[in-house]
Amino acid sequence: MRNILLNLAYDGTNYSGWQIQPNGVTIEEKLMEAFRRMDGSKVKIIGSGRTDARVHARGQRANVHLNSSVPTERLPFALNAKLPPDIVVTGAREVPLDFHARYDALGKTYRYRLYTGPFPDPIGRNYQYHVKEKLEMEGLREALEILKGTHDFRGFMASGSSVKTTTRTIEHVEIRWRDGGTIDVYISANGFLYNMVRIIIGSMVDVAKGKITRAQLEEALKNQKRALAGHTAPPQGLFLEEVRYKL
């Protein structure tokens, strides 16, 4: 028995998220199917977290306990031969048997892509959030800086989520402006609540557009009031870039 940590990248456009569910094809389902097709292995896949429908990943991690004769270094090639082209295993390594991809994660980095311009981009529409209005850079930056540090982010969590604590630490934020009206926002934290990144991005956009004030954003954070924060940005602009572990 080996415990294998997988590195995964996928285009979430055609999937109903990570976790297996009754209706809709998921990333987890396709991975389990690939293991079965590889050599009959029936595995339980433990992801670092659940990405929603249409959310993408460049650095998702998952571990599996595996009884298989396929060498660890050959696993990515064997699995990729059985996976659809929009899901790729980019690495595999053996880890201690008690390692858990979710509970042992120290932090994650997400990237969210915005596209500003008068017209939608038909090529990039599945990988960015089109905002027609020009966004003021300082407004975006100020909104993001408010949220840095350790806070109770209950006001930036979608309803229906059950967690022990809503306190999280945003460790690093960065905004990168690219040619052609593309903006990439990077957020690193020790953990994220359900829809937290998308609500943060929606709030940034609303502050930059003048729909909500900086004071409202600060109150949403201070008093954990979801109604004072901005809208929830759509899923297709979100990418899970990295999951960090002490290994």
CA dist 101 to 8, 14, 54, 67, Å? 12, 24, 22, 18
Query: Is the Cβ–Cβ distance between 229 and 220 less than 8 Å?
Result: yes
Residue 110 marked as a ligand binder:
yes
- Give per-residue burial for 49-71: e unless 16+ CB within 10 Å, then b: bebbbbbbbbbbbbbbebebebe
* Phi, psi (deg, nearest 5) at residue 127: -135, 15
Cα–Cα distance measured from residue 75 to residue 70, given in angstroms and rounded to the nearest whole number: 6
Nearest C-alpha neighbor of 86 from the set 115, 45, 142, 127? 127
Q: Tell me which DSSP letter residue 233 carries.
A: P
Residue 179 annotated in active site: no
Q: Which of 11, 39, 52, 104 is catalytic?
A: 52
Work out whether strand 107-116 and strand 182-189 pair parallel, antiparallel, or are unpaired: antiparallel
Work out whether strand 238-244 and strand 129-131 pair parallel, antiparallel, or are unpaired: unpaired
At 5, which amino acid appears? Answer: L
Return the bridge partners of 60, or none: 8
Residues making up the binding site: 110
Residues that are catalytic: 52
Residues making up the binding site for substrate: 110
